[in-house]
Structure 1
Amino acid sequence: MNDKLLQKMTIFLLAIILLIPVFKVYAQESEVTVNVPSLKVRSGPGLTFDIIGEVEQNDKLTVIGKENDWLQVKYGNTNGWVAGWYTTSDSTEMTNKQVISKVNKLNVRKDPSLSSAVIGQIQEGTQLTTFKSEGQWIEISFQDKKGWVHSDYVSIVKQAIEKEPKTEQTTSTREIFVVSVDVLNVRAKADLSSKIIGQVSKSEQFKVITKDHNWVQIELENGKKGWVYSFYGQFAVHSLSSESTTSLETIKILYNGTNLRSESTTNSEVVARVNAGESFPVLEKEKDWYKIELSDKTIAYVASWVVSSSNSDNSSITEPIKERKKGTLQGVTLVIDAGHGGNDRGTTGALGTDEKDITLLTAELLASKLQAAGANVIMTRESDVYVDLRKRVSIGHQSAADAFVSLHYDAIENSSVRGYTTYYMHDFQKELATYVHKELGNMVSMKDRGTQPGNYLILRENKQKAILIELGFLSNPVEERYVTTPQFREQASLGIYNGIINYFDSQIN
């Protein structure tokens, strides 16, 4: 009898010991980044537990629990444990910092996720205060509330110290709203079901009276007041001084380490390097270069595609220039198509990855690179929404795009199949496919499945030079882990970018 009682008590104590780690969990999931080249994932919190997998440097891991110095993380369709001392937390306070948008129409989201609602957009060169960062997302101050932007599309700079206003003349400012679509309805109330009281046109400017979430109340020329949706325009500040003054055009640098050159060419000597947020007065403009003067009176030149200008209308499509320089995409219109979206998840990987999520991440990264080279980039979708295939094609036709690039990730029943493929349908699409596929292969370590004809609607019905790229197989667990990393998206988007640059360079002659 005593033996049975002792046995029961032993089992009870063991059960309690085994359950202790369950209570040591985070109240809220967090994210960490691996900071060593290779980190083992184990079945339990200790070096004696079995190894169930491996993650690489800079991989993001979702933490769901903790025991001493060990972190319980999500790993594919299961959970595992990693040594916490080989990771760093991704949530960081950002005090006295600001971000500058490197792209036009950058989405601001309610939460740090691509599936989160878009609460607004900011234009290239817009500078906003930051609060903190979580992984690849940065929390910012946006229209008197907080929102999130993806770090790939902004530069981080020190917050500017406001100078005391000059006393020799009275100066005030007002905020204006600049329309960025061809026709925009003006409504009686801040509601899409409200009565339309008028219409305004692209590039027209109106005084901002007040704001209500995503709506802006403006004053029309006839004195009437109405509401417009803020997504279809951008905000600017006009200075109203007591004396009539003519201000010089200024440019603001968008990228850290931007080269300033001795002449208006990419082959000339670099006279200085400057960082995002720095501004310079423009002496004159020479085609796609600005001539500026530095603080030490040195004259330098900076390319127009790496700055924002105080006199430019960033919302308009760039007019083609007569002589496009090699290595740039000035005057080129490109449609970037993130495959699937909304209720169309695409394929789901062996470890649970939804294709629609990573196509959007890859497309946004590629778009930012192309815009930095001067291209006018149009995205078929900018959030987790469904877009009909024929509508995607029509977007390219309506914009008279010079090229259409559709991004996808593949799947097949045989989980051993791997590699990347570039598809085209018509003969006039083949050359673009060849250039892009070659440069993609130079940047990623994957099996090359070649360029192939593909009878896809997105290619078949397209009058543009269109290609469809399958960036690896999510049905292959090993390849899924590789292609879902930020490093892969960076390398793949750079390869596609290089291929597009080389293709359009070949067209100059």
Structure 2
Amino acid sequence: MIGLFLLLTAYATVAMAQTSTVVINASVVNVRTGPGLSYDVMSQVVEDEKVQVITEQNEWYKVRISNDQVGWIASWLVDNIEISAATNLVGTITHPEVNVRAESNTDSDILGTVTEGTQLTVLFQQEGWTQVQYYNQVAWISSSLIDVKVTPKQEATSTVATENDAAAPIQQVTVRTDGTNIRSGPSIEDSVVETAFKGDSFAFVEAVDDWYLIELADGTQGYVANWVVDLSANNEAAPTANITNISEATIVIDAGHGGHDSGALAQNFYEKKVTLKTAKLLAARLRSAGANVIMTRDSDEFIELQDRAYISNNNHADAFISLHYDSTETRNEISGTTTYYYHEEEKALADLINQNLSQYGPLPNNGVRYGNYFVLRENYQPAVLLELGYLNNDTDQQVVNTDNYRSQIVEGIYQALNQYFTP
């Protein structure tokens, strides 16, 4: 009896040890019903709270929270304690029909039934009961009715069919922006076969690198870039992102110029130098608020314009901010900051940033203007380009390359983005 008790205790300890633990490092983190910002918020966890990770997908963690619910949190908002210890325990039902219960006793409510051969992800075992993942919650099955085995983590992730399996075959892709090109091949060099509009949905066929092969209304096929569409696992159009605070946003910061492209010239410094300093300070400010920040460059290197737009598109940026300092043919002709946008739907973001630059910045404000710039025109994400002063203006060039000026500008941009991502 003692030996059996020790054996069961040791087994339970091994099972419980398979779960990973992470600590929340943002003040409040939303727990969502799926691995993305398009999914509804089901609960919240707060700073320093510990949660258990079940699995990982696309920079999101599936977690079990304190009220026995299963949901998803953004990986960039947590600190890993045991980064690679997510559960790899799989249980197979061994009886014809087994009750799945809300708690670990036979008097508990029955949540549903599973049949012999069904495989479920096992969270842990205790006192004759096995806790499993079942729909959007955890549930319990008598340990005598399920065979639990350790399987390779990758195999479990890809082959185990749980009752809460959200990885149904993708059926639809939905276009995010008017004028989206559908091409004859998986490249921007291939010819355009059709132009789609925001909300148009097509049947998904397969993924080819960064492109999706889709079926058009007439039965022919074409390719669309994966960074301009959303995926849906059912026949309904994929939802758009539902960001409720800046900590959930992916923001691309683009430091203009770099490398052999020095940009405008002041008396003793180049534009590429001050754009990078401003970009680094802005990135640090946004990261301190929990935002997922991606920089197109973080050193003095040359980046092609198409690569800058691609970084934004490929990462599904919630905002793209391109930083520049201007110059004119005539010295001292103009002074101050200007905010540019290309797509009409981005004017609201441009207006908000411009208002805050006017409030926080010490230089004159020249307002919001339409700008036919490559990084805006070829960017399918919300994008603005900021000219933060004129390097051939005597007043501006004395101001812009100072820590005080950069701090003021950065705070203005941060406040604007914080307002933009707050409903």
Give the structure-2-normalised TM-score.
Answer: 0.46
Give the structure-1-normalised TM-score.
Answer: 0.39
Higher strand share: 1
